[in-house]
Copies of this chain bind each other. A is one copy, B any other.
Amino acid sequence: MSDDGLEAFDSLSAGKRIDDDANYQWRVAARPVANVVPSDFRWTVTDIPEPRDGEVLLKTHYLGLAPVMRFYMQGTGAAGERALEPGDVIHGRGVAQIVKSRHPDWQEGEMVQGQLGWQTYKVSAMTAQEKFFKMPKNGLPAALGSGVLGMTGLSAHAGLFGCGDPVQGDRMLLSGAAGGVGSMVSQMAAHVVGCEVVGMAGGAEKCAFIRDHGCSQAIDYKSEDIEESLDALMPGGIDLYFDNVGGETLAACLDRLRMHSRIVLCGSISEYMREQPFGLVNYTRLRATESRMQGFFVYNHLHKWERVMDDLAGWIDDGRLQPVQDIEDGFQNMPRALANLYYGRNVGIQCCSVRGEPEHWN
């Protein structure tokens, strides 16, 4: 994909800035057809809302970006959130500080993460649907709450441990290894469990990156023949495949399973960019090898939140998990940061610094 599409976002950001005197928002202007384009977004400025009894006022510091956001905008309501209509503020989880509270359970000054939407302030009754959690006071940067210590971290942990049942020595294949979930899964699999991880990423730069983040071998899917590379790097086959892309890569993996292999279906970004959905013919290969293909969805794992965050923070502390977030600076650049995901440019978790670290939160 060329860069042209991404450069078109420069004029969308140009001249926009935020301040503390108003609520700045990005809304759906039109439903994206394929990848998002600048005209899909609308910038609005409103008054900062006032919380009523049982509500709080949240001030946004960081917002995370995820491929699923395009589905929200397309109105397909994927992944546990309400489908958006043109005119709606775009969904987005992130880190905020409570600047006013009329809610007994949430105190002024507390840092939280949850569903904020693409806006610089939000009034919320902190409903279950918004999935707010208090940020742990562990001295780590607040930015991590929009990714590594947020829903992306929970995804990576739930997918790898809750679904993949990794064992030391497993020969693991990981697609989307340079992405948000991928860059965490590779490090946890290699450094926490002791798997031998072969990662897939697009381009020499990303392949170098994933070799520094848990992958002992890298396959550049843009320049290599995936089947040939798998045969060369994993001649004995695959014990565990963590699938972030679906499609032909999944099919290639099904043809190379070892006995009792596990396939974790996490994402299928290749499907998002495809006009005709991919039909998986060789799913029957699960039979001869007694293998399983299992899906998971992060919102079904919320009950593990505290334990998972403790795990992740501990591994960051002891150096086994290096947090990788690709931070776009400035709320005005949110649309470009989202488009960036589909161009396969970002490394690690894509997020946006709306107004940087808060002065006090720990």
A1 lies within 8 A of chain B by Cβ: no
- Pair A295/B300 contact, Cβ less than 8 Å: no
A284 lies within 8 A of chain B by Cβ: yes
Majority SS at the chain A contact face: mixed
Q: Beyond A292-B295, A293-B292, A294-B292, is A277–B281 a contact (Cβ under 8 Å)?
A: yes
A283 lies within 8 A of chain B by Cβ: yes
- Pair B283/A290 contact, Cβ less than 8 Å: no
Q: Which residue of B lies closest to A277 (CB)?
A: B281
- Pair A286/B265 contact, Cβ less than 8 Å: yes
A108 vs B292: C-alpha distance when bound (angstroms): 44
| Contact residues, A274-294 vs B (CB, 8 A) | 277-281, 283-294
- Pair B280/A283 contact, Cβ less than 8 Å: yes
Q: Beyond A259-B300, A300-B259, is A287–B281 a contact (Cβ under 8 Å)?
A: no
- Pair A284/B291 contact, Cβ less than 8 Å: no
A246 lies within 8 A of chain B by Cβ: yes
Contacts of A283 in B (CB 8 A): 265, 280, 283, 293
A284 CB contact (under 8 Å) in B163, B265, B287, B289: B265
A271 lies within 8 A of chain B by Cβ: yes
A217 lies within 8 A of chain B by Cβ: no
Contacts of A266 in B (CB 8 A): 287
A23 lies within 8 A of chain B by Cβ: no
A343 lies within 8 A of chain B by Cβ: no
Instruction: Select the residue from A284, A285, A288, A300 with max chain B CB neighbours within 10 A.
Output: A284
A268 lies within 8 A of chain B by Cβ: yes
| Contact residues, A246-282 vs B (CB, 8 A) | 246, 259, 265-266, 268, 271, 277-281
A296 lies within 8 A of chain B by Cβ: yes
- Pair A291/B281 contact, Cβ less than 8 Å: no
A246 vs B293: C-alpha distance when bound (angstroms): 15
CB distance from A49 to the nearest CB of B (A): 33
A297 vs B287: C-alpha distance when bound (angstroms): 6
Contacts of A268 in B (CB 8 A): 284
Contacts of A290 in B (CB 8 A): 163, 294-297, 300
| Contact residues, A155-211 vs B (CB, 8 A) | 163
Contacts of A259 in B (CB 8 A): 300
- Pair B293/A297 contact, Cβ less than 8 Å: no
7 contacts between A and B (CB under 8 A): A277-B281, A286-B294, A286-B295, A288-B295, A289-B297, A290-B294, A292-B292
Inter-chain pairs besides A290-B297, A292-B292, 18 sampled, C-beta below 8 Å: A266-B287, A271-B284, A279-B279, A279-B281, A280-B280, A280-B281, A280-B283, A284-B295, A286-B293, A286-B294, A286-B295, A287-B295, A287-B296, A289-B297, A290-B295, A290-B300, A291-B294, A293-B293
